Amino acid sequence: MKILVPVKRVLDYNVKPRVKADGTGVDLANVKMSMNPFDEIGVEEAIRLKEKGVATEIVAVSVGPAKAQETLRTALAMGADRAILVQTDDDVEPLALAKIFKAIADAEQPGLVILGKQAIDGDNNQTGQMLAALTGWAQGTFASAVAVDGDHVSVTREVDGGLETVKLKLPAIVTTDLRLNEPRYASLPNIMKAKAKPLDTKSPADYGVDTAPRVKTVKVSEPPVRSAGVKVADVDELVAKLKAMGVHS
């Protein structure tokens, strides 16, 4: 079984986003960029399925600028077998991404597509579900456990209030949640080897997908700032403040 793993290049998890002064977006010049953490978990899960003998080949895909090659090389260094870069400088929306991944899925015929549940830049949480809609496949979103059994996959999902397990017919779409696994670090020899792994470059037009945005960003602003309040000296003062607000047992 082949597994398709989409990955996105995003502002690094540890970098505090700064809104541009002109309100057009978040400043991405000269800041550290990395693979979206949820996608990293997706790559790791695919590799584990390959190590278990369930998967035979892992294809990493990224839609983004030329520099998204770095993100794909990271996936290859972790253990993906080959990569496809769908190169564009446009900011591609989830719906158009899903259309590109659908076209790739038609060509590659994977048994599973594993995506991050959301990218930590746009926080849309849509692409996996949209890909499932366009392919007509079943979806297991926010996965904390994935087990392939014959022509089905069981996905344990993190839902409000606890966990839920669904059984999906393959091929299927899985989106990852944080606790699915802890991604490995690529070793130096594997980083070197990854440089020789195949990486194809395509364009959205190769897949017949129009990436013109449907949603216009009017402006991007700083969230309202919450200012610090007061420090209380001791528990008694805190109790008094809380009681004054009507908070008591």
Partner 1 sequence: MKTLVWVEHDGAAVKDATLAAVTAAAKLGEVHLLVAGSGVDGVAKAAAGIAGVGKVHVADNAAFGHNLPENIAPLIVDLMASHDAFVAPATTTGKNIAPRVAALLDVMQISEILSVEGPKTFTRPIYAGNAIATVESSDAKLVLTVRGTAFDKAAATGGSGSVEAVGAGSDAGISSFVGAEIAKQDRPELTSAKIIVSGGRALGSSEKYQEVVVPLADKLNAALGASRAAVDAGYVPNDYQVGQTGKIVAPEVYFAIGISGAIQHLAGMKDSKTIVAINKDEDAPIFQVADFGLVADLFNAVPELTGKI
Q: Which of residues 52-91 bind partner 1 (CB under 8 A)?
A: none
Taking contact as CB under 8 A, which single stretch among the options 10-18, 43-51, 79-87, 190-198 is the one that binds partner 1?
10-18
| Distance of closest approach, residue 192 Cβ to partner 1, in angstroms | 32
- Asked if 242 interacts with partner 1 (CB under 8 A), we say yes
Phi, psi at residue 172, to the nearest 5°? -150, 165
CA 142 – CA 125 distance, rounded (Å): 10
CA 120 – CA 71 distance, rounded (Å): 15
Name which position in 7, 11, 33, 80 contacts partner 1 (CB under 8 A): 11
Closer to partner 1 by Cβ: residue 22 or 222: 222
Cβ-based burial of 71 (10 A; exposed 0-12, middle 13-18, buried ≥19) = buried
Query: From the CB of residue 184, how many other CB atoms can be counted at a distance below 10 Å?
Result: 15
CA 120 – CA 125 distance, rounded (Å): 9
| Distance of closest approach, residue 181 Cβ to partner 1, in angstroms | 13
Per-residue x/- track, 98-117, partner 1 (CB under 8 A) = x-------------------
- Asked if 247 interacts with partner 1 (CB under 8 A), we say yes
| Distance of closest approach, residue 21 Cβ to partner 1, in angstroms | 13
- Asked if 196 interacts with partner 1 (CB under 8 A), we say no
Kind and range of the H or E element at 163? Answer: strand 162-169
- Asked if 120 interacts with partner 1 (CB under 8 A), we say yes
Q: How many residues bind partner 1 (CB under 8 A)?
A: 78
DSSP letter, residue 6: E
Helical pair 37-51 and 68-78, crossing angle rounded to 10 deg: 30
Name which position in 60, 168, 180, 186 contacts partner 1 (CB under 8 A): 168
- Asked if 130 interacts with partner 1 (CB under 8 A), we say yes
| Distance of closest approach, residue 133 Cβ to partner 1, in angstroms | 4
| Distance of closest approach, residue 129 Cβ to partner 1, in angstroms | 4
Long-range Cβ contact pairs of 192-197 (< 8 A, separation 24 or more): 193/77, 194/73, 194/74, 194/76, 194/77, 195/73, 197/76, 197/80, 197/81, 197/82, 197/83
- Asked if 163 interacts with partner 1 (CB under 8 A), we say yes
